[in-house]
Structure formats: structure tokens, C-alpha cells
Amino acid sequence: MSEVTTIGLDIAKHVFHAHGADAAGRAVFSRRLTRSKLLDFFSVHPRCLVALEACGGAHHWARELRAMGHEVRLIPPAYVKPFVKRHKNDAVDAEAICEAAQRPSMRFVAVKSEEQQAAALVFRTRDLAVKQRTQLGNALRGHLAEYGWVAPQGSAHLAMLADLLEGGEIGQTLPEAARPMFAMMADMLAELDKRIAALDKEIARRARDDEVARRLMTIPGIGPITATAIAAIAPPAETFAKGRDFAAWLGLVPRQASTGGKQKLGAISKMGERTLRRLLIIGSSAVVLQASKRGAPAGSWLEGMLARKPRMLVTVALANKMARIVWALLIKQEDYRAPVAVTA
């Protein structure tokens, strides 16, 4: 029996599948494992390379397998898909993961520690609360429209709606049976506002205490939320050879469809870390909006772009530029210095 050098592990909640291959890539075994037997299997197996898809729970199992002495690599699911042969099942997926891990040019995801995942949890929680507030606010506006009331857009007007519902002009015109339901939605909105405000305070505190976050906040368009999110979620800057690679990891570079020597670039790829990409685009949109109203610095890159390109395109281009600046500051461990404007 050949020596197993690589194992592709397809993980799930209760049932797992392991596919072992030798150094030449030949299949040695394909085995179904239950959750309770998984660690027992790897504890007695000779140390080897174990590859998993970077999906839910992958970082936990990667830490467990590393503690046993195995070399563990996580592969983005999009990079595993081309190796799946015809039908899809757990055994085929495990074989595809094993084959992908043996490619010399394959790119891997860094395994996160429990502390890194805990630091990122505050942003996931805030995103969830903001989405729930938006959903609840839209529901409130939609139900009020059924009674002839059109509420202004924006979360800033939701508190005003709550006051008008409670003993105000709106509340007096609503049917008796509907008032308790509207009061319940207003109370839920107020509670979500409090929780989001508490999370914002916690994020601001972390930004003040973290040297990396303080350095990143010197970049225009990056505030406490974006700075601490980058410090908590992004892998070490040394992972990337240059700033463009970091921007590509965030999905802020154009998607290519080039062929026959003709280069064709489309919209951004939107691959990689969506949370940081969204935060950078929000920050860049604020900078572009201010520049559109008050004017960009004379002779600056932003002034030239706004004169030639649509505002949304400039927003995405600025987010790409901000990502490269973030990488440069992390590598050089310096604060941001605004470039000197070029004058004619």
C-alpha cells in the first residue's frame, strides 16, 4: 500500500469524507467518517498534508488537526470546483480537494486563531443588527403606507416615526387593532438602535487601543469600523507580494476576459473578503461625495478622475487605491502622508 501524503477532507455538520492520495496523486483510500470518529482517525494516522475547503467550521477543524501535528491547508471553494468530476457527492468533493491541494500553483487561505475569529465577531454582529434594523424599518414604512402614511427615507427618521406612532398624529389615525403591532415594531427598532450604538462604542474603544487601527485611521475615508475590521479580519500584510495582490484579495480589481492577445477588463471581480470590500467602498464613497460638493484638492488624482469619469466608477477606483495604501502602511508601519498635488 502506498504511503499517504495528502488527504482531502470534505467537512459537514455530522458526516465527513476523507480521500487519501500518495505523492504521485494516486488514490489510496476513500473513507466516510462521522463527527465523533474524525479526530480519532487522524490521531492515529501518520502525519501528512490535510486539505479542506475554507467554509463554515473549517478553521476549527484546521486548528484541531494542526494540534495533532498534521500540516493543514484551506482552499477557497471556487478553486476546488474545477477539479470536481461530473456528479457531486461527498466522495467526489473530497477527491477534488485532495487533487487541488497537490497543485503547485494553488492558493490557500490562512488558518485563523480563535482570537482572530473572536475579534471579527463584533463586526458580524453589528452587520446583523444593522440588517435587522433596515428590514424592520422597511416593514414599518410598508405597513404605514397601507394606512396612507409615507415615511421619509433614512434611519434618522425612524425615531421620529416612533414618536408620532406613540400618541402622535399617526397613532391617532390607525385602527385600534393595529396600534399594538406598530408599537411593538417601534420598540424593536429602539432596542436595535441601542445595541448598534453599544457595538459602535466597543469598536471605537478597540480602535483607540490598537496601534494598527490608529495608523489606518490616518487614511481619508477609513474610520474606526473599517480600521479595526482590517486589523481583525485581514491576513498578515506579508502574505501579499504587493498592494495589488491585497486589492485582488478584496475583489477590487477588474475581472479579466482577455483572449487572443486582446485585453478585455470588466467590472470588479467581487472575489474574496466581502466585508472589507464593502467597508472600503463605503469609505471611498464618502470621500468622493465630499470632493464632489466641496471640490478635490487642486492637481490631485481624485480631481483628475472626477473630471473624466462617472462618480461611481471613481468611488470603486478610490477603494482600490485605498486598499493598496492600507497594504503599504501595514508593510512599512508608517502613518499616511497625503501626496503633494502636482501643479501645471
What are the strands of the beta sheet with 27-34, ordered from one edge? 27-34, 15-21, 6-10, 49-53, 71-75
Confidence grade of residue 168 (pLDDT, cut at 50, 70, 90): low
Write down the CATH number for the domain with range 6-101. Answer: 3.30.420.40
Check whether 328 has a pLDDT greater than 90: yes
| pLDDT, tens only, 272-285 | 888 999 999 999 99
* Residue 148 CB neighbours (<10 A): 8
Is the pLDDT at 342 greater than 70? The verdict is no
What is the rounded average pLDDT for all residues in the chain? 90
- Whether the per-residue pLDDT at 164 is higher than 70: the answer is no
Task: Give the integer Cα–Cα distance in Å for 245 and 252.
Answer: 10
pTM of the model: 0.81
pLDDT at 121: 92
Tens digit of each residue's pLDDT (9 = 90 or more) over 7-52? 999 999 999 999 999 999 999 999 999 999 999 999 999 999 999 9
